[in-house]
Amino acid sequence: MPMRAVVELRRPLTPAQARVLALLAEAPGYKQIAHALGVSKRTVRQHVEDIAAQLPDDWAPNAGTKDRVVLYAMRRLAESVAPRDRELPVSQDHAA
């Protein structure tokens, strides 16, 4: 089953969850995130679990907890920089 283009969380992220999510998009581990935020690895892990619990059950169902949240972070990042109102240029060599 393909992942949805837009993923709505069950409730808004807390400021701490948003900070963890932003750092996860850069792909560091729990230890690096904990150090950057001045919290314990356990706190970071709990935020990741809480974010994962807010994702729809059918979104990336075969991925582990951290992987689901990382995929969500990357999707949000991609949506924030992707052009929405115009088509991307396609090379004539690759046009269908």
Of 6-10, 74-78, 84-88, the poorest mean pLDDT is in: 84-88
For residue 3, is pLDDT > 70? no
Closest alpha carbon to 52 in 17, 25, 16: 17
CATH topology for the 15-80 domain: Arc Repressor Mutant, subunit A (1.10.10)
Positive or negative: CA dihedral 46, 39, 8, 90:
negative
Which region, left, alpha or beta, applies to residue 38 given φ > 0 means left and ψ of -120 to 50 means alpha?
Answer: left
The answer to whether 35 and 22 are in contact (CB under 8 A) is: no
Rounded Cα gap, residues 33 and 44, in angstroms: 7
Q: Yes or no: say if 69 and 52 are a contact pair by the CB < 8 Å rule.
A: yes
pTM beyond 0.75: the answer is no
Q: Taking residues 35-47, report their average pLDDT.
A: 96
Q: What is the mean pLDDT of residues 21-45?
A: 91
The confidence score (pLDDT) of residue 84 equals 57
